[in-house]
Amino acid sequence: MRRSPKDTEASSRKITRRGLVVGGLQAGMLGALGWRMRQMQVEQADEFRLLAEENRINMRLIAPARGLIADRNGIPVAENTQNYRIVIVREDAGDVDMVIDRLRQLIYLDPEELERSLREIKRRSPFVPVTLTDQRSWEDIATVAVNAPALPGIIPDVGLTRYYPLGADFAHVVGYVGPVSDYDLNRIEDDDPLLQIPKFQIGKTGVENKFERPLRGKAGSKRIEVNAAGRVMRELGRDAGIAGSDLQLTVDTALQNFTEARLSLINSAAAVVMDTRNGDLLAVGSTPTFDPNAFVRGISVQDYAELTENKYRPLANKAVQGAYPPGSTFKMLVTLAGLDSGEIGPEDTFYCPGYHELGNRRFHCWKRGGHGYVNLEKSLQQSCDVYYYELAQKVGIDKIAEVARKFGMGERFDIPMSAVTAGIMPDKAWKSERYSQDWRVGDSLNASIGQGYVLSSPLQLAVMTARLASGTGIMPRLVKSIDGVETPIEGAESLGFNENHMRLVRKGMYAVSNTRRGTAYSSRIADDQLRMAGKTGTSQVRNITVAERARGVTSNADLPWERRDHALFVAYAPYDNPAISVSVVVEHGGGGSSVAAPVARDIMLFALHGKMPPLESYPSNQRAGIRELQRSLPVHDVVRPVRSDRA
């Protein structure tokens, strides 16, 4: 059936309208698409270019060189050395176990170290390099490089690691670094991304720990091109990090070595040497000691157990952590409290029959037969206990504590060493707060001879002696400079005591070391220009019963080591122009005059001479024995050029 012309015309009009609508829609879509393309390519070009770069470029941290640590003369005590290591990238290795088996056929891998590395591999992302072994020889690195085609994912590498050239000498002062652990990450509040690098080294103890952030420096970075799977294709560039700050300590390496060597002849001891003029700590010794290099890579369980189970506690820095009854070395402060309060004068005397009675209890003097009538100088010279029992009852504990605190007793000094103790300087308020008990007269008598509740560290005793010598509140200083900028000297102002009183105390200390009846006369210095003023001390660690006194007190030699008395000695020299103070504590060593004083004298003479003391500084009848002692000491040559590996 044929359509009429009218129908045909109407149909054509409909098709034309539809075409226009469809065409308009198409044109609109094309226009919107073009506008969006222009927006993305022109207006948002920078944003999308950045996204594209981030997709194909990875940033990786570069560990900075750790700051160097040197002694007061620039001799390095902590430096960085090249560390040849072998790392693995799990994503590149494929079958990790197979690749490691091949590697073990070429070089030796410590099983314990390998086990730690395998645990680390499982924890890290597959493209993060993990150290399998370090501190390797160049021959090992060359062997791995030659066999690289058979070791996918294994990469020979070189970096920096910490090294302590003087080994055990500075272990307790500088401390050591070690790989960052989960415990470290949980313990410290530090968002530095460097801590996420496997086996990154951080300070664990000592100066390394206390100055961790400035020593660490700031990370660098490198840009590497990676494929979609994260595999490294090439390095595009790098930005160097900022090396850590360099520290210079106040410690003298030669003196530190001699101090450690002299103390090493004793089971367990500590010594501190301080400059009385500026507070510089010239030596801080503690024995037995240990090699800090063993901790750098992560010490084995067996080696660590040997250190922790040693009854002489080699890991403890007894010079600042140890708190001991100061014994008779405390008597100078009680004397000064008596003078300052006006309770005694230099010629006032107390009678010593060998004991002091308080109620129905006897407080004994170390000399069973007593000292007779004793004045101030004689009380220090012969260390009469009864004199101080009597004096303490007159002065009272609060005045004694007030004076003692001005000399550093009971103070935790702010030096960058681990677990510095404050010791204890008790008074009435302290006992009431600690034990909810009243202070008793017997407590004062015990405190007057450095026993009872009183506890102090060798560091505090060295500071006390330096302040007695100088009359100032000088503070101990361990860090001499940071990046060449000198650290300030603190506390050089006068303590405010009557200078005549200070002279009386010093004169008594001089008598201890330089008069025939002095308790340290056998440890005197023979050189008139270097005469030493000192004080012996012996502190009990056990109670002596009435029955034991009746039958005779058991000698230290007949007691187990742990029950023997501590031996102490403090001194400064030269007497007329004080420059050096020394404190020595020998754990369970016995008598201060026979054990601690000779050690302190040897250390003092080395500090004054700056080298092995000449025999002429010793009494003539002792020189043959001193010669043999000096020959037996394990001292070593400490003069080395400063190394500064930074790359």
The sign of the torsion formed by the CA atoms of 222, 223, 224, 227 equals: positive
Amino acid letter at 319?
A
Amino acid letter at 59?
M
The sign of the torsion formed by the CA atoms of 518, 520, 523, 529 equals: negative
Residues in the chain: 647
- Going from the C-alpha of 640 to that of each of 253, 352, 371, 637, 643, the distances in angstroms are 11, 56, 54, 8, 9
Hey, which residues does 59 pair with through a beta bridge?
223
The Cα 600–Cα 568 span in angstroms is 9
Closest alpha carbon to 132 in 160, 153, 161: 153
Report cis status (omega within 30 of 0) of the bond before 64.
no
Closest alpha carbon to 583 in 210, 332, 247: 332
Is the CB of residue 77 less than 8 Å from the CB of residue 642? Answer: no
The token pair at 134 is 């370090």
H or E element at residue 139: helix 138-146
Residue whose token pair is 């100055």:
211
CA angle 240–241–242, rounded 5-degree value: 125
Catalytic residue check, 328: yes
Reduce the DSSP state of residue 645 to 3 states and report it. Answer: coil
Amino acid letter at 600?
A
The Cα 215–Cα 482 span in angstroms is 10
Q: In what order do the strands lie in the sheet with 220-226?
A: 57-62, 220-226, 232-239
Amino acid letter at 402?
E
Q: Name the DSSP class of 250.
A: S
Closest alpha carbon to 334 in 276, 370, 384, 270: 384
The Cα 107–Cα 141 span in angstroms is 9
Amino acid letter at 589?
G
Cβ of 126: how many Cβ atoms within 10 Å? 15
Alpha helices (H) along 299-439: 301-308, 318-321, 331-341, 376-381, 385-395, 397-406, 428-435
- Judging by beta carbons within 10 Å of its beta carbon (0-12, 13-18, 19+), is residue 169 exposed, middle or buried? buried
Catalytic residue among 117, 245, 286, 328: 328
SS (H, E, C) 1-29: CCCCHHHHHHHHHHHHHHHHHHHHHHHHH
| Beta-carbon contacts of residue 211 (< 8 Å; ≥ 6 apart) | 67, 203, 245, 247, 416, 479
What amino acid positions are annotated as catalytic residues? 328
